[in-house]
Structure 1
Amino acid sequence: MSIGVLVVDDEPIARHAIVRQLRADPDIDLLGECGDGASAVAAIRAQSPDLVFLDIQMPAMTGIEVIDAIGSERMPAIVFVTAFEQYAVKAFEANAVDYLVKPFSRERFAATLGRAKTRLSVNTGNPGTSTQILRALEDLRQRDAWLQRIPVRVDEHVVLVPVDDIVWIKANRNTVELHLADRVHELRETMAALAERLDPRHFARIHRSAIINVRRVKAIHPWFNGHHVVTLDTGQELRMSRYQHEAFLRLVTTRQAER
């Protein structure tokens, strides 16, 4: 069978690496290359490829926005291409979606292309709109909805603090303290307002005055009267309210999954 393929990536080196290996495959009909999202949308509409190698992280128009512009029901099969971004890779793996992490080996590319061929050969409908792909995209959109960096004032400057660097957060009246491994920043915001903007998969409120980064938890110890003590990887110990059962279960589940 002949498979019409379009390559979309804003990095010329990455495009060249994909194109070089596609040209070596007799089953592939290379339809073209696109260096941005807008030209990708035009090419997909005009050429109707069977398969698209689609970069997720492109300026101006991302890979997700390309899919939105085409419409998920009209998208061809997709192999997502990304520089290593942990959350994106987890979303693809969790939903059994084909992807390539740049830079990739010849063996990795061959395995990914082989899976794409198999899916195209057994799926006579529209393989690009599988439930797995839609779920992966929803996971990525959800990630974008949560805070990634928090602006804080340091002297006369504004510093953007990545939320992943936060170990725990302490409420202090109408401000909060962002505790990092080596410093503390004060932010003029209420605990409740900040909690709504943090990814609940990564942050848990264990007390009315404390939110922790669940990935920084080292141990959870029972205390008394239903309370527990959470030990963070910095050595900080925080008391967990006995009413925070949901947070406690999330912490236990996360730690078990990481082992």
Structure 2
Amino acid sequence: MTLAAPIRVLVVDDEPLARRNVTVLLRGDSEIEAVSECGSGAEAIEIIGRWQPHLVFLDVQMPECGGFDVLELLGTELPPAIIFVTAYDEYALQAFEVGALDYLLKPFDDARFYRALQRAKGKLAHYAAEPPTRRLVVRSPGQLLFLNVSDIDWIEAASYYACVHVGRDTHILRRTLSELEGDLGDGFIRIHRSIIVNLDRIQGIELQSAGEYEVVLKSSVRLRLSRRFRKRLQERMGAMAAPSR
């Protein structure tokens, strides 16, 4: 499989031996350009922001900042492919809900590891080659509905599904918010861990009396703006200062 560019991989685990096992397997692959390691979630966030790896092997349970904390704190700046590596099987569903590509349960054999790596390569090849999605397909019994991405106002996560709001209509997709965010491209932005908004639909940002911010859409819909995503939204909207009271 030929990729658009060699792959940079980050291995995150608080156990040095576990990191080493993954690193040794990766270094035997000619398509892996570079492999970096770190032993904490906080360090992973710093390296991901600076180094921009294509693929991250991420431990679930680490002191102070676990794998799910890392993804939450990264917000919209997630690597294209994430594979969770853990000794605990009870987090698998949660991992896929947040957009993980695979879930490696320790101890795993070489064959299982390489299957996960091949899946990652496939996703990265698609990620590099495909332009942003222009239409979403909504499947229901006996029907396929094609939604123009430009018509979407906002999308919210709902358990295992995503609710796509187009005017007064709501359509249900069995996809994660992270998957949709990656497909939709730069015209959409996350404003909350469970909400993505079409930038063209945003009318303004308002500060409420309780100190919380809301994004106001042109349709008059009001959506909570998480503090974590506020700065990036303001930068994208060209707002250099926070709204005043």
TM-score of the superposed pair, with normalisation by structure 1: 0.46
Q: Quick check: which has more Rg, 1 or 2? A: 1
Higher RCO, 1 vs 2 (CA within 8 Å, ≥6 residues apart): 2
Of Structure 1 and Structure 2, the greater helix share is in 1
